[in-house]
Structure 1
Amino acid sequence: MDLEKVQVISQWPTPHTVTEVRSFIGACQYLRKFIRHFSQIAAPLHSLTKANQKFEWSRNHQESFHLLKRKITEALVLALLNLQKPFEVEADASNYALGAILFQDGKPIAYHSEMFSGPVLNYPTYDKELYAMHQAVKHWRAYLLGKEVVVHSDHKPLQFLTTQSKLQQACHMKWMSYLQQFNIVIKYKK
């Protein structure tokens, strides 16, 4: 991790305009791979940058701003990946974002997060959790293809995904079709 960038972000003053918020988010984007649930943490700040949105800095924005600065200054050092060892993925979804971690030997190798947009925002919980799993595996496809991968989810119904005889929705079939190219074992994580 670039310590100069971390220091600049840790000393960043509270933004007072949309341009300043965009600059802060842009600076943080470089380090997002080190921050678990980056998209979820940054969501309140992103909401300020939308077109035709009046700029009103609230307590929620201040908390997001400080949490992001703290997470960046406290970021864990990521382990180096070893292609000879098995991989584990943890995927989780909130109402407006997904977060995922690629692990080996219980140590994080990489983080991935993304904001939901469009119709995904209106998906029910099951669909969002399955989508998060799909996106995580897709993001790390190059590492996971041809290997047994344990995928952890805190959404219990997903542990039965690979044994379901009939999927109800087209998006479920599409995502499962993609996931079937991998040797995935889904485990429920409390």
Structure 2
Amino acid sequence: MCQFLTSKYVSSLDIPMSYYARILAEINRRVTAIVFPWGKFVFSCLSMVVITAPDEFQSILNMMLGGLDGVWAYLDDVLILSDIFKEHLSLLRSVFERFKEFGLTIHPRKSKLCTRSTDYLGYRIGTTGIQPLHYKVEAIASPRTRRELRRFICMVNYYRDSWPRRAAILSPLTVAMLPSVPFRWSDDHEATFTRMKIAIMQTVELAFPGYSKPFHVQTDASDYQLGAYPVNKLELPTNKLVLQEYRTLLLRHEIHIHTDNLNLTYGT
């Protein structure tokens, strides 16, 4: 995140057929065997049928792009950040040379070069902050099964920092997802589902923090969202949880906590 703050140019690369660039040793090919009526076949390269394929390919990317500051890779998505245009071009050249060395290619239609913003891992990353990609959730139809509901909730939770009161809005759907509750999609569930999608459609940008300034933390709590805590003790666990959740962001910086519990101001 610190690097995002000073970056003016961003490029994103998509690697097509990424796993197939990894040639398997002869001794390892037998674990990929697939039996057909007309014979048995094995993969000569890395395949998605191998459960460790993502870890293997990620380790290859880490080794391939190691030592390049400003280059981030998650499986087949590569992000390149820099502040100066000439440095960005030089960084792109280094990345392309390593791609060529390892036999990887890029998808031209899914890649963007030298832009001010780009889509990466479900977010639109710009020079001032990040925004969730609304279309990822907007296209989801009303769940008809518990599995479809779980998929929707997981996708919303991926963007958990983007909308206030997300947990409170989702609570009826969270209860409906429990295995102990018979799955029956009601009008109340549909209203909650629609309400959440409307919240998602709103344009929300999470701004990058200014590390040169002190941080102000706003906290609150309720019986419903924190569980069975006594009312007079709610604010303390809330403050503790928020400091734990954002410890990597707040560590070694001046912090001001705003709370409506006066008793906590006298704590030591």
Q: Is the 8 A contact 2:132 2:159 kept in 1?
A: no
Q: Which amino acid aligns with 1:37?
A: R
C-alpha distance in structure 1 between counterparts of 2:238 and 2:190, whole Å: 27
Q: Is the 8 A contact 2:150 2:177 kept in 1?
A: yes
Q: Which amino acid aligns with 1:60?
A: D
Cα drift, residue 86 of structure 1: 1.0
Percent identity over paired residues: 28
Partner residue of 2:141?
13
Partner residue of 1:82?
210
Partner residue of 2:250?
144
C-alpha distance in structure 1 between counterparts of 2:195 and 2:238, whole Å: 23
What is the TM-score normalised by the length of structure 2?
Answer: 0.47
Give CA-to-partner distance per residue, 1:131-152, whole Å, 9 cap, x none. 1121111111223233332222
C-alpha distance in structure 2 between counterparts of 1:5 and 1:138, whole Å: 27
2:167 counterpart SS class: helix
Q: Which amino acid aligns with 2:180?
A: N
Asked if 1:46 corresponds to 2:174, the answer is yes
Cα drift, residue 47 of structure 1: 0.5
Give CA-to-partner distance per residue, 1:90-132, whole Å, 9 cap, x none. 11222332xxxxxxxxxxxxxxxxxx4xxxx211223222211
Partner residue of 2:158?
30
Q: Residue 4 and residue 160 in structure 1: after superposition, are their counterparts in 2 closer, same or farther (change >3 A)?
A: closer
Cα drift, residue 54 of structure 1: 0.9
Q: Is the 8 A contact 1:21 1:49 kept in 2?
A: yes
Partner residue of 1:55?
183
Cα drift, residue 49 of structure 1: 1.1
Partner residue of 2:93?
none
C-alpha distance in structure 1 between counterparts of 2:223 and 2:193, whole Å: 20
Q: Which amino acid aligns with 1:22?
A: R
Q: Is the 8 A contact 1:42 1:64 kept in 2?
A: yes
Cα drift, residue 5 of structure 1: 4.5
Q: What stretches of structure 1 move > 4 A for 4+ residues in a row?
A: 2-5
C-alpha distance in structure 2 between counterparts of 1:143 and 1:25, whole Å: 26
2:141 counterpart SS class: coil
**Gaps spanning 5+ residues in structure 2: where?**
1-122, 125-130
C-alpha distance in structure 2 between counterparts of 1:129 and 1:61, whole Å: 30
- 5 Å-filtered alignment, 1:160-171, equals 160-164=263-267
Q: Residue 4 and residue 87 in structure 1: after superposition, are their counterparts in 2 closer, same or farther (change >3 A)?
A: closer
1:147 counterpart SS class: coil
Higher relative contact order, structure no. (Cα contacts within 8 Å, ≥ 6 residues apart): 1
Which of these residues, 64, 68, 73, is aligned with residue 201 of structure 2? 73
Q: Which amino acid aligns with 2:228?
A: N
C-alpha distance in structure 1 between counterparts of 2:263 and 2:199, whole Å: 34
Asked if 1:159 corresponds to 2:265, the answer is no
Q: Count matched residues.
A: 140
Q: Which amino acid aligns with 1:151?
A: I
1:88 counterpart SS class: strand
C-alpha distance in structure 1 between counterparts of 2:165 and 2:132, whole Å: 23
